[in-house]
């Protein structure tokens, strides 16, 4: 019989969290740190990441901030090299960095489409590929992609075809890599949040966007999610507690997709 405390413990492991300086990434990074993991934050802009670093170190673990654009192959390779140099191995990867653009499909510019796909899908692929090489050589590792319920349903009332397509693609990338690497010790899963109140969406809440009332009316719990409500699933998927889980996409949406 396994010891449940040991199953959920991340002591002695290290986790890369892209875009871990704020929002969902920050909360998940803190959750991993509280479970004992050392944290590496990879971010394009390091100001918020450095503030989060101090909060993570207050949990009694190490934290390193690495500046880089994970859409850029050279930045991703440099990040992996630095982590290996400082930490010796890579146990956990959270592909959290993301962006959003919304508009009617006929108005979406090619530039906006490419930006969303590059950040939300191409970036996670590049980082997963480079980290995956390390994990496959180690014979172990857990990769978690932060997708969205928008990869499974079409949102309303806002139109956001590029975002939906990017997150749907990320879910399928998750399943594809999981199937390929399952017998080689590397697990790949996805978390699919519903409407979460973060820095990215705060402006909508402040101006009382009518869309928010619509979202809540379609959510059984009748509210948005808190960023800390992803901490539990993050630790679960990173830890040995989920050792028989791969290729899964966990929806955390207050029941939105149940109706």
- Contact (Cβ atoms closer than 8 angstroms) between residue 136 and residue 184: yes
> What burial letters (b/e) apply to 138-154, b meaning 16+ CB within 10 Å?
eeebbbbbbbbbbbbbe
**Rg from Cα positions in the chain:** 18
Indicate if 163 belongs to the active site: yes
Rounded to 5°, angle at Cα 157 from 25 and 124: 30
Say how far apart CA 236 and CA 233 lie, in whole Å: 5
Give the CB-side neighbour count of residue 199, counting CA atoms within 13 A.
Answer: 12
How far CA 224 is from CA of 139, 188, 232, 259, in Å, comes to: 39, 27, 17, 16
Which residue of the set 163, 195, 236, 250 is catalytic? 163
Burial of 165 (0-12, 13-18, 19+ CB in 10 A): middle
Residue positions annotated with a catalytic role: 163
């Amino acid at each position: 019989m396994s010891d449940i405390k040991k199953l959920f413990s991340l002591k002695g492991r290290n986790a890369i969290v892209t875009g871990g300086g704020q929002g969902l990434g920050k909360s998940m990074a803190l959750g991993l740190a509280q479970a004992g993991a050392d944290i590496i934050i990879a971010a394009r802009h390091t100001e918020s990441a450095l503030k989060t670093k101090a909060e993570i170190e207050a949990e009694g673990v190490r934290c390193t901030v690495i500046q880089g654009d994970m859409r850029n192959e050279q930045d991703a390779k440099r990040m992996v090299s630095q982590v290996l140099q400082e930490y010796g191995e890579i146990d956990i990867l959270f592909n959290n960095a993301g962006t959003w653009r919304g508009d009617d499909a006929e108005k979406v510019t090619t530039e906006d489409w490419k930006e969303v796909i590059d950040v939300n899908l191409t970036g996670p692929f590049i980082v997963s590929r480079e980290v995956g090489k390390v994990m496959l050589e180690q014979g172990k590792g857990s990769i978690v992609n932060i997708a969205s319920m928008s990869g499974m349903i079409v949102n309303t009332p806002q139109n956001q075809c590029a975002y939906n397509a990017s997150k749907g693609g990320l879910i399928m990338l998750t399943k594809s890599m999981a199937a390929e690497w399952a017998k080689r010790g590397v697990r790949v899963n996805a978390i699919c949040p519903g409407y979460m109140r973060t820095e990215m969406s705060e402006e909508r809440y402040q101006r009382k966007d009518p869309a928010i009332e619509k979202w809540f009316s379609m959510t059984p719990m009748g509210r948005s999610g808190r960023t800390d409500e992803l901490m539990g699933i993050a630790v679960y998927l990173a830890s040995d507690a989920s050792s028989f889980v791969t290729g899964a996409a966990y929806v955390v949406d207050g029941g939105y997709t149940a109706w």
